[in-house]
Amino acid sequence: MKFTDGFWQLRPGVTALYAQEAYDIAETTTADGPGIVITAPTMVIAKRGDTLNRPVLTTTLSSPAEGVIRVRIAHHEGGRWHGGFALPGAGTGAARASLTDDGGSLDAGALVARIAPGAPWDLSFEVDGRRVTGSGHKAQGYVRLASDAQVDQGIVSNARQGGTVPPESSFVHEQLDLGVGELVYGLGERFGPLVKNGQSVDIWNADGGTSSEQAYKSIPFHLSNRGYGVLVNDPGHVSYEVGSEAVERVQFSVPGEVLEYFVIAGPTPKDVLVRYTALTGRPPVVPAWSYGLWLSTSFTTDYDEQTVSSFIDEMAARELPVSVFHFDCFWMREFNWCDFEWDTRVFPDPDGMLARLHEKDLRVCVWINPYIGQRSPLFREAADQGFLVRRPDGSVWQWDLWQAGMGLVDFTNPEATAWYQGHLRRLVDQGVDCFKTDFGERIPTEVVWADGSDPARMHNLYTDLYNRAVHDVLTEARGADDAVLFARSATAGGQSMPVHWGGDSTSTYASMAETLRGGLSLALSGFAFWSHDIGGFEGTPDAGVFKRWTAFGLLGSHSRFHGSSSYRVPWAFDDEAVDVTRRFTHLKMRLMPYLYQQGLDAATTGIPLMRPMQLEFPDDPAVGYLDRQYMLGSSLLVAPVFAADGSVEFYLPEGEWTSLLTGETVTGGGWRRETHGFDSLPLYVRPGTALPWGARTDRPDYDYHEGLEMRVFAGGSGRSSVTVTNPDGDRRAYDVDLGEVTR
């Protein structure tokens, strides 16, 4: 949100008060432990009379964890604040406060905050003794808008979005310095440019598709290439101006009287993500079977058990291993979504069908959402018991988009959550193994929540309650290491309930590229596991797009064939599509000893499986803007093909890289242009890698130690220990001579 008119003036109808000096600096005790509190008048105090009728901003510094500093800016401490996120990693006593004639400092280990006394206002942050950013003159501000102020307050209303950003009259903002050459990443799964410099970004979840500026997963966390990250601790509407309004700064603003944010130390991007996910939540271990291919009915296609069985049998006959079969919306009767009842007109024997699918060694996923259609018998039951969100006049909130007269389950009501979970448990007992938790973004703001929550806060936070309710059922039924979702919406901390997928893309090369940008942006926002609809969702891809997307989709943590109005079985495109699917599903199965270990490591560190080049090569200036390639784990470089003619340009960092598909060795340190057939793409192994290579191509959850090969690639020397862990927990370290190249 922009408040200024150029460098000197404010926009019409805007008044602003800025922290002008650190008038008083004192030690204090906070919920985090030792801290510093600063009184910052909104003018420089030259004489006693200047203290009268003069607002101040109160800034408090504290630390909930080593390398993390909390900054709280308050105009009126008793004023409205949305409240923060759940922070499972927050503790106490992580910092040491001190005061000298030179001001105050809060030492949180790798990160130190320093406040200079007097004017101008100067709050700086140092990582390992090096200043990385700071809050300077006119950075901390309290802004008020007149009723007719000419300020764009964020997202314009659209029918699909649901709750629009409520109009506000007061805001608190902070601006942190951007250094020369500094690049900003993150802010959730955003499908525009990976580097956020120059962008205005609203943290407000919306169902906008991948070809828009809106996002299903809006995360108020950004990561800088200068060795730090920042989380704005507000689940409500956070508005960012990233080097856009003030080109030398990142501005973030929230409505109300209080803004709270955390600065998180590096010095490397990985270090930032390790600390960030320790604070907000790490992903659990996801089961090995979930890494296999997920095959869907698609959305509006006609299907019954015979259709499902024919797909599965044809996949098996073509040696295309499937791990999970997904039933999309129409497993339930139309107009009833979501009543958790199989449509017996097309599935007359659901218990028997699920048993038959399990006999084929498949897991079963079914689609759900948090809405209850008016036609469903559950609607009246939920409404009568107070389980649906209500309007201020006490009536049930309803609308006709998606399902006629649908209501929204109120997960702030523990009884409503238990009721919803009871229906899920019935499905789990029936044989359902996991759930696709669709939607969670169209959350209204003109409502009253059971627990009295601020509606603006709940708009983004709703997804966390929704996904948590479902994930808890699966954890309870399957165990912590066997629970997995396929979720669309998220907010900060959502990485602790994987897996998430990229939402509604179109079936084009351009949409394939924007999908990858969204995944990379989400990875830099702390999410370790991610997927997308192979081939695109809207429309039907031509055979070329489908084959290129298949290669890309099977080189990720989780892989799913899914569409809207057409099936996504490979033979629906051409015979070569079958061959491409076989080649890359078999390749992924062979890579499972490597991928599964990377997933286990993600549960420990928070480092994602799909890694932007910036994570693995932070000291290489050439990777700063790369958004058409990625690292799969620490050792495999993938450059999907986004062109019909098979041409692709990509960058190889320095060293001796080897094509995993051809064995060709290439010297890195520059750009390459290659042309690939549909059965190939640039897939390079990092220099000096010892890659564990599995023995099976028919399933992802097998004994990785049996028949294991350790493939050693050029560019290394000495010895290395490579860990391989079975799905059953059997963990072994293999000693490898990196000088004995086997490929």
Q: Which residues are catalytic, by number?
A: 438, 441, 504
CB 250 within 8 A of CB 270: no
Write the DSSP string, 384-432: HTT-B-B-TTSSBP-B-SSSTTBEEB-TTSHHHHHHHHHHHHHHHHHT-
Angle at 736 between CA 733 and CA 737, to 5 degrees: 160
In terms of Cα–Cα distance, which of 612, 627, 624 is closest to 514?
627
**605 φ, ψ to 5°?**
-110, -25
Long-range contacts of 400-403 (CB under 8 A, 24+ apart): 401/159, 401/160, 401/442, 402/337, 402/369, 402/371, 402/439, 402/442, 403/335, 403/336, 403/337, 403/371, 403/373, 403/374, 403/375
CB 551 within 8 A of CB 681: yes
Amino acid at 298: S
Sign of CA dihedral 398, 401, 403, 408: negative
CB 549 within 8 A of CB 583: no
CB 141 within 8 A of CB 17: yes
Pairing between strand 530-531 and 500-501? Answer: parallel
CB atoms within 10 A of CB 430: 15
Cα distance between residue 95 and residue 32, in whole Å:
9
Scored b (16 or more CB within 10 A) or e, 254-279 reads: bbbbbbbbbbbbbbebbbbbbbbbbb
Cα distance between residue 695 and residue 629, in whole Å:
28
